[in-house]
Amino acid sequence: ELADWQRAVREQFPIITAHPDVTYFDSAATTQKPRAVLDTIETYLTTANANAGRGGYPWANRTTALVERTRRRVKDFLGDPAPDRSGVHFTGGTTEGLRTIARDWLAGLLSDGDEILVPFADHRANLDPWLEVRDLLARHGVTVRVRPLPYQESSGDYDHRALPSVIGPRTRFVAVTHVHHVYGGDMNVHRVREAVGPHVPICLDAAQGVGHVPLSVDRLDVDFVAFSGHKALALPGSGAVWARNSPARGPEFRPGGWQGTPNTVGIAALEAALDWLDATGPDRIARWTQALTARFSEGLRHLAPYEVLGCRASLAADAPVQRRHDIVTFRHRDIPSDDLGFILYSHGFMVRADNLCQAGTDKRDGSVRVSVHVYNTAGEIDELLGVLAGLA
Ligand code: PMP
């Protein structure tokens, strides 16, 4: 039954159905777009394209309404319990979103002797902005200590048991990731909230969450969320920051509002993508993609020359495969990852093969990442396993 549903869903992705000879396994880098999103882009540009927040004629009014409606849509999609108090700021993507939070909010929160807690083995986009704030403040004579979030070597999660040892009375901020872009693990952010208590603001990098797995800001109890449109079935160069805006957890977030022209096409596509995701069913999508990643890691762990990557250490037979979302990253004992990527493409598989922008790594730490979305099938996974078995 789930398979019938998926067949119909897959049909809605023109680039997938038009290329039966290749398989796209790089959805963690960017996702393909359903017909509904493509149609929305064309409709918007051919019926209402104008600048937003200015002008008093119908196209401009419709574009302004689109932007405001999409703000509300983002709040709904994230399960925002108090949408009248929160804010949504449109960005060019997660990287820009995190940097905006750092510059327009965190820099104004910190004073001499404060501490912030950040992940040193997640995506670089979720490390550099926080280090930049520290360096900026240092130039003004304000010393901020950056402490690394502890990881659990066995699972790739944050180590919630070790968290109390890095949290202190001067801890003012924590940056975390929703789903890890290398390991695919859900980082169990609710446990970080339990450890830091109710008053320390938490910022979530949801680049691999939004559009992939259900996300509730209420359940996770985070204060900021940054995500990218292009990883959620919408366009590159679009994205948003959601901010709880509760003064109890720091100053209000005040990014530049209507001073510039927003990416209106990107916003139109984002609204359509969130509508499509909700109509298709985020839970069903996640069930499908988790089944695919479980099938893949299960198959891979029986092939001797491959190791599936966990946290900084490699995870062999006891890898907790069932909790991976959408992403499996692995190495071959003998074949360098870029060669493996090349071999796989010669068989029609598009995968990512390098160090995956992970903080604390360089080119020598190459690996191959297979990431799926709702348009992928179990047949594609089995074919890939067949090719990998041939290299064993
Ligand atoms: N964070 C994570 C976890 C990611 O996977 C990515 C994209 N690979 C980013 C941040 C950056 O996203 P973008 O390039 O869309 O800004």
Q: Tokens in use for 338?
A: 């870029």
Q: 232 CB under 6 A from ligand 1?
A: no
259 and 320 inside one domain: no
The answer to whether residues 354 and 288 belong to one domain is yes
- Cβ of 94 less than 6 Å from ligand 1: yes
Ligand 1 neighbour 126 (Cβ under 6 A):
yes
Q: Are residues 194 and 307 in the same domain?
A: no
Q: State the Cα–Cα distance between residues 370 and 128, nearest whole angstrom.
A: 26
Q: Is 181 exposed, middle or buried (0-12, 13-18, 19+ CB in 10 A)?
A: buried
What is the position in ligand 1's atom list of the atom closest to the CA of 96?
A: 16
Question: Please, are residues 104 and 73 in contact by the beta-carbon 8 Å criterion?
Answer: no
Its ipTM equals: 0.98
Do 216 and 80 lie in one domain? The reply is yes
CA-CA-CA-CA dihedral for 10, 16, 20, 21, to nearest 10:
-140
Q: What residues contact residue 29 under an 8 Å CB cut-off, 6+ apart?
A: 352, 371
For tokens 């693990």, what's the residue?
Answer: 185
Please state the domain count of the chain: 2
Cα(125) to ligand 1 centroid in Å equals: 6
* pLDDT of 270 strictly over 90: yes
CATH number at 204 reads: 3.40.640.10
Q: Is 287 in the same domain as 273?
A: no
Q: Note the pTM of the prediction, 2 decimals.
A: 0.95
- Tell whether 369 and 261 lie within a shared domain: no
Same domain, 249 and 285: no
Looking at 280, 295, 318, the residue that finishes a domain is 280
Reduced to 3 states, what is the DSSP secondary structure of residue 193?
helix
Answer yes or no: are the C-beta atoms of 331 and 337 closer than 8 Å: yes
Over residues 282-330, the pLDDT tens digits come to: 999 999 999 999 999 889 988 989 988 874 344 444 544 446 789 999 9
Position 200 pLDDT exceeds 50: yes
CATH code of the domain covering residue 309: 3.90.1150.10
Q: Do 167 and 208 fall into the same domain?
A: yes
329 lines ligand 1 (CB under 6 A): no
Ligand 1 neighbour 208 (Cβ under 6 A): yes
For residue 94, the CA-to-ligand 1 centroid distance in Å is 6
Q: Which atom of ligand 1 is nearest to the CA of 179?
A: 3
Residues 191 and 296 in one domain: no
Residue nearest to atom 12 of ligand 1 (CA): 94
- Name the β-bridge partners of 352: 369
Closest CA to 124 of 385, 291, 356: 356
Q: Which domain holds residue 352?
A: 2-31+281-390
CA-based nearest residue to 374, from 212, 131, 132: 212
Interatomic CA distance for residues 113 and 145, integer angstroms: 7
Give the C-alpha separation, 284 to 12, whole Å.
16
In angstroms, the CA 186 to CA 212 distance is 11
Which of residues 210, 245, 280 is at a domain's end?
280
Range with the poorest average pLDDT among 39-48, 50-59, 70-79, 274-283: 50-59
**Contacts of 304 by beta carbon, 8 Å cutoff, 6+ apart:** 333, 392
Q: Mean pLDDT throughout 23-45? A: 98
Domain boundary among 234, 256, 280: 280
Q: How many CB atoms lie within 10 A of CB 152?
A: 16
CA 83 to chain centre: 22
Q: Can you tell me the distance from the alpha carbon of 144 to that of 373, in angstroms, rounded to the nearest whole number? A: 40
Q: What is the pLDDT of residue 364?
A: 64
Answer yes or no: do 25 and 44 share one domain.
no
* Statement to judge: residues 99 and 226 lie in one domain: yes
**pLDDT tens per residue, range 204-220:** 999 999 999 999 999 99
Q: What pLDDT does 315 receive?
A: 44
Query: Which residue is closest in CA terms to ligand 1's atom 5?
Result: 181
Q: Which pLDDT score, from 0 to 100, does residue 312 have?
A: 39
Mark whether 76 and 165 lie in a shared domain: yes
Residue among 91, 96, 100, 181 to mutate when testing ligand 1 (max atoms within 8 A of CB):
181
Q: In this model, does residue 258 exceed pLDDT 70? A: no
Q: How far is the CA of 337 from the centre of ligand 1 (A)?
A: 21
